[in-house]
Amino acid sequence: MRSSTRSTPERVTPPVPDPELLEQLAAGQLGALGELYDRYQAALRAFLVRATRDAHDIDDLVQATFLAAAASAARYDGRATCRPWLIGIAAQLLRRRRRTFSHLLAVLSTLKITQTSTSDPRTALQARTDVERALSRLSEAKRVTLLMAEVEGMSCPEIAEALAIPLGTVWTRLHTARRELRQALASEDA
């Protein structure tokens, strides 16, 4: 796992191991959630910023992820670090949000009461680099999968488990995502 942006010694060597922290959280201890937030909010926020093309609900997604983690803490599998687990929850929330949004779009287009485009109307990513722009052109499913592999360092089986998709789908998404990313970067250069 790559270290979070918080680099104080107590963060590098957490006083309470993640599994124990999640046990405390499952017991309803508020302090455990605060500690979990301090450890992983930066990593989670970074993942969500990269993974989503609109930044206005990042805070909501971070909150929802930690609250969902708190609700599921009793079922945590005891791995030494819960970062991949949290990232998986965030990815699931992203997917759910995307489905909800697609449904909303369908309703709006049926009603024909607005001039909403049938294309994705979400605010364009405030891309600062070519890579970010190229990344924003990928579908969210491919983008999330690629970020889980390349940024979070998760193995393909871990990603498949977190996203509840077949391993082969992960491999396919990764391959396609890299190819499209390279093509997009090449067109940026051109």
Partner 1 sequence: MKPGCPRLFEVEAWRDGRLGGAEAERFRAHLKLCPSCATEMQSLEALGEALRAPLPHENELHVRRERTKLLAAFDARLVPPPRPWRSGLALVAAVATLTCVVLAAAFRFVRPAPAPTVASHAAPVSEAVAVRADSSARWSRQADAQLETIRLESGALSIRVDHAASPRRLRVILPDGELEDIGTTFSVSADSGHTTRVSVQEGSVVLRLRGAPPVALGAGDSWSPSPAPLSASLVPPSAAPPSAKPVIVAASPSSRVPPATGPDPSDEFAAAMAALDRSDDSQAAALFGAFVAQHPRDARAEDACYLRVLAFQRAGNTNAMRRAARDYLTRYPRGFRKSEIEPLVGE
Give contact residues for partner 1 (rule: CB under 8 A): 2, 5, 8, 10, 28, 30-31, 33-35, 37-38, 41-42, 45-46, 49-50, 59, 62-63, 66-67, 70, 129, 131, 135, 146-147, 149-151, 155-157, 171, 174-175, 178, 181-182
The backbone region for 28, taken as left when phi is positive above 0, alpha when psi lies in -120 to 50, beta otherwise, is left
Q: What's the half-sphere exposure (Cβ side, CA atoms, 13 Å) at 25?
A: 25
In terms of C-beta density within 10 A (0-12 exposed, 13-18 middle, 19 or more buried), how is residue 77 classed?
exposed
Give me the least distance between CB of 121 and partner 1, in Å please: 24
Give me the least distance between CB of 175 and partner 1, in Å please: 6
Contact 46, 36 (CB under 8 A): no
| Residue 146 or 163 with smaller CB distance to partner 1 | 146
Give me the least distance between CB of 76 and partner 1, in Å please: 16
- Cα end-to-end distance, the chain, whole Å: 35
| Residue 3 or 102 with smaller CB distance to partner 1 | 3
Task: For the beta carbon of residue 161, count every other beta carbon within 10 angstroms.
Answer: 17
| Residue 5 or 187 with smaller CB distance to partner 1 | 5
d(CA 160, CA 116) in angstroms, rounded, equals 34
Give me the least distance between CB of 178 and partner 1, in Å please: 6
Give me the least distance between CB of 100 and partner 1, in Å please: 20
| Residue 41 or 85 with smaller CB distance to partner 1 | 41
| Residue 85 or 170 with smaller CB distance to partner 1 | 170
For residue 2, what are its two tokens? 């790559």
